[in-house]
Structure 1
């Protein structure tokens, strides 16, 4: 009886040693392309195309997150400008950005974050610490984490 208990404890210890706790902050992007509320939508479109991204966080002068602007937000502006035959150069990010932005905790487990992506249908979550934008995690970042950790046990 004592031998089985000892072997069970060793097996449990070995499993615990190979288990990897991986956090969002380990895979988030820290060097972000951000936008300002006063920027033109046309400038955002140029930046999205040039950098091959689908959107980005909007921050104020204190680097506090105030919104998100996406390709979809820009498409709405193009569509309305064309429909009303209005030039786009006077339209700002502030008028088009999404203001109610869901954020995610940098200490969250990456696979819990994956579930948040599935539940919300959002493509990117900003990470805010002490009121400041510090990074962003995307669905692609989660996929990279899964490939990097392939074959390991996850917490």
Structure 2
């Protein structure tokens, strides 16, 4: 049996709930990861954030354009409407970037302990449709993270 401890990563990118979405997004992109745990000052897991959480915050506005036989006034009005919608979208993205990650993080965190098997981790990820599990000790303190890629990698090493 391969344990979570054998497959997990111990050098974990983590955030505080007071970090901004702009900061978190930049770190996720730089480190080429799609999510990370949020911890308190005692390193206890209090949430998790993913690219999906950030994407849900940003509303995408699409112009409502009538392309079939527009009326003459539509042709004059269309550029003005499109400009207003683009300005509105830019304002929405700027507001979203300043939101604190604690406001959008997933607070109900599914975690696992280091002594569990990787098959238990895989089952948890599959049943909850998640891509990563924080690995915690008996006091709910973060000690690592295991991803789907870690599980697949661990299976490859055992051959």
Shorter-chain TM-score range: 0.7 to 0.9
2:25 counterpart residue number = 45
Q: Return the offset for 1:78.
A: 2.6
Q: What's the secondary structure of 1:107's corresponding residue?
A: coil
1:135 counterpart residue number = 144
Q: 1:88 aligns with which of 69, 85, 96?
A: 96
Distance 1:82 1:62 in 2: 38
Post-superposition CA distance 1:14-61 (Å, at most 9, x none): xxxxxxx32101110110000110000011110111010001000011
2:38 counterpart residue number = 58
Q: Return the offset for 1:111.
A: 1.9
Post-superposition CA distance 1:97-152 (Å, at most 9, x none): 000001112111112322222222110011111231101111000000110112xx
Structure 1 vs Structure 2 CA RMSD: 1.9
2:70 counterpart residue number = none
Structure 1, unaligned runs of 5 or more? 1-20, 151-155
TM-score normalised by structure 2 residue count: 0.75
Distance 2:28 2:115 in 1: 28
Q: Return the offset for 1:84.
A: 7.1
Which structure 2 residues correspond to residues 105-120 of structure 1 after superposition, within 5 A? 105-120=113-128
Distance 1:134 1:58 in 2: 13
| 2:121–2:133 contact (8 Å) kept in structure 1 | no
Distance 1:98 1:83 in 2: 25
Distance 2:97 2:130 in 1: 28
Distance 1:131 1:105 in 2: 9
Q: What's the secondary structure of 1:122's corresponding residue?
A: coil
The aligned length equals 130
